[in-house]
Each structure stands twice: as structure tokens, then as C-alpha cells.
Amino acid sequence: MFMYANPYINQNYISELQSMKDRIDRQLQQVTQPQQQTPNIQQTFQLAPTQNQTAMRYVNTIDDVNKELVFGDTPFFAKDLSVMWLKNVKGEVKSYELNEIVQKDEKDLMIESLQLQIDELKKGMINNAKSVDTDINEPVESTKSTRISSSKSSNAREK
């Protein structure tokens, strides 16, 4: 009762109660409606090849091709460019032999044609020589000549 009689104490008490009420309201508000704070964002980028990314690779052997992980059809080339392997996602490998195609002009084509003609002529000459050799090497059967009589030679010995 003493507090109610003194207006100064009553004012202090009311202000304390008011401040306690404000704090309680703020705490309730924080609990029921959390403040929108910007969370700390850490971004980690993991770059992986996409389906469209098919870079060719150089390898030494097919064993190197089998060891590689691919995410799409990927060509692998031997370092001397003589063989190409194509590996798919399933791990299946197809092998291809590569040959260089050299562009030829008219002179090169003419030279190639003449060389083929020369080769054909050489083959024809070799075949002819072989047939002549087989004729020469055939065994000759001895046949007695009908012109020479054996009686004359026997008469010459008798004399």
C-alpha cells in the first residue's frame, strides 16, 4: 500500500512493468515470426561434361580407352592417327582403321594410271615367261626317227 500512495514509486513501477511487457512482446514476436535474415550462402560448382561435350582424346592403346570414363559417345585416336576407337556410355568400344585420303590433281592421276598400266604389262610379261619356262621344262619323250634305218648302222659294224 505504501507504493500506491507515493506517485513517484508508482510511476517507476508502471514504467518497469511497461518495459517488461515490451520485452516479452518482442521475444514473442521473435519466436512466432523469425526475422528474415540473409543466410550465409556457400556455392560449390561441380563442372561435369554434358551430353554435347564430346572432345576427342589421344591414347596409346585400347587399354587406355577402356580405363576412361565417358559421358557420351567419345572418339579416341591413336597418337599416330592410324586407329580410332569410339566409346559410348555403356562402355562399348568400336575400332576403326584410319587411312589418309590425299587429294590428287590431274598430273597425279595420270601418273597413277600409267603406273597401273606398267604393273599390268609386267604381270603379263611374267606370266608369259612362266608359260615358256613350263614348256621348256616339260620332259621330252624320245621318239625314234622313221628315216633312219637301223639296218645300215648294223651293216657298217659288220664290215
- Amino acid, single-letter form, for residue 113: S
Band of pLDDT at residue 129, cut at 50, 70 and 90: confident
Across residues 110-124, what is the average pLDDT? 93
Tell me how far apart the alpha carbons of residues 133 and 145 are, in angstroms, rounded to a whole number: 26
Q: What is the DSSP string of 97-141?
A: E--------HHHHHHHHHHHHHHHHHHHHHHHHHHHHHHHTSPPP
For residues 96 and 54, the model is more confident at 96
Q: Please give the order of strands across the beta sheet that includes 83-87.
A: 57-59, 74-78, 83-87, 93-97
For residue 49, pLDDT over 90 is answered with no
Beta-strand relationship, 83-87 and 74-78: antiparallel
**Which helix (H) or strand (E) element contains residue 78?**
strand 74-78
For the stretch 62-73, pLDDT in tens is 999 999 888 888
For residue 77, pLDDT over 80 is answered with yes
Note whether 82 and 63 are within 8 A (CB): no
- Residue-level pLDDT at 133: 62
* Beta bridge partner(s), residue 25: none
* pTM exceeding the 0.75 threshold for the entire prediction: no
